[in-house]
A and B are shown apart, each in its own frame.
Chain A
Amino acid sequence: MAERVRAWGLVCLGARVVLGGLFIFAGVLKLMNPLHFKQAIMAFKMGMPDHLTVLATFTFPWTEIIAGALLVLGWWARPAAGVIAAMLFAFITAMASVMLRGIDTHCSCFGKLEFPCGSSVGWCQIVRNSVLLVLVGIVLGRGAGSLALQREPRD
């Protein structure tokens, strides 16, 4: 039993560090070149007014960085995972919408790197985000795991 608990603790630690690290990385890349990200948002043609596009250009990366940092630290890990899940759902919906409308554009999810997919928005990005949702599910379901700053009360 203790072995199993310890194993889950390590799995959760791995999930939140990988997930948090990726989101910090993605947020920093976007903030390093906000114009690039703004153009990517515009290219999605969601009908957003310009001031909202500008706000989204800065809000998404900052939320990614804050939620990612909380995940890595293991502080408010479940709420941070929930916020990341909401963003992933929003990204998947936006990408599916772009694909359905036949728009050939870039997600700029990881700045210019588009890690690990090709340049255009497609199934690869949707599968990648779905895999990340699995990691989110682990943290949401099992908690922060080992080496977390905040120890969660047992449910």
Chain B
Amino acid sequence: MPRRSMVQQGIVIIFLGVAAGAVHSALRPLDAPRAALPSGDAGTPTASDPGGLVHGQEIDLAKAWELFQAGTPFADARFLEDYEKGHVEGAFWITTDQFMNGKVPAALDFLDKSSWIVIYCTGGNCDASHNVAEFLRLVGFGKCLIMKDGYQPWAEAGHPTAIGKPEIGAP
């Protein structure tokens, strides 16, 4: 086969892949649909939330530690393998995968919709915690905070951690 013709056909294959991918991504947005978010002020600060925190707000390690000491539940949005290697002590395991096909994570049965929840992933560019926060808001948990530094700085700071499978929701 002439090399030129092979390159042209290769380009056609890539073009078809990109076109199919573009159409698919347009038809199926990945992030939770913001326009469909329930109205209301679940995330706005109130007198009972003197910290002035809002849903989806990023917090630093110090604030997360303060909330942990106050008994605020934590949710780990990373892959199961990462959770098993090490997680914030007592953290629930809640990932975007668990919201697929109309299902909700089993851990939600153990969480209070009026309570703040601190969500974390690996930190840096990781957006899993933001995605989980949006999914949680869609099912009524409108008080989620993002521990922006992620798990590793938490562990390196010597804060409580644990290893092993999640008690709730493990496959």
Contact = CB atoms under 8 A, between A and B. Distances in A.
Interface of A: 31, 33-36, 38-39, 42-43, 45, 47, 50, 54-67, 70, 76, 78-80, 82-83, 86, 104-106, 119-120, 143, 152-153, 155
B100 A78 contact: no
B128 interface: yes
B21 A60 contact: yes
A43 B122 contact: yes
B17 A66 contact: yes
Interface string B21-39: 1101100101000000000
Interface of B: 1, 6-7, 9-10, 12-14, 16-18, 20-22, 24-25, 28, 30, 79, 81-82, 96-97, 100, 122, 124-128, 131
Given A54-B30, A62-B21, A78 B122 contact: no
19 contacts: A31-B24, A33-B100, A35-B131, A42-B128, A55-B22, A58-B25, A59-B18, A59-B22, A62-B17, A62-B21, A64-B17, A66-B17, A70-B13, A80-B10, A80-B13, A82-B10, A83-B17, A105-B122, A119-B79
A95 to B, nearest CB: 16
Nearest to B127: A42
B20 to A, nearest CB: 4
A79 B9 contact: yes
| Interface class of chain A by DSSP | helix
A38 B124 CA distance: 15
B30 A34 contact: yes
Nearest to B99: A35
A59 B12 CA distance: 14
B64 to A, nearest CB: 21
Nearest to A119: B81
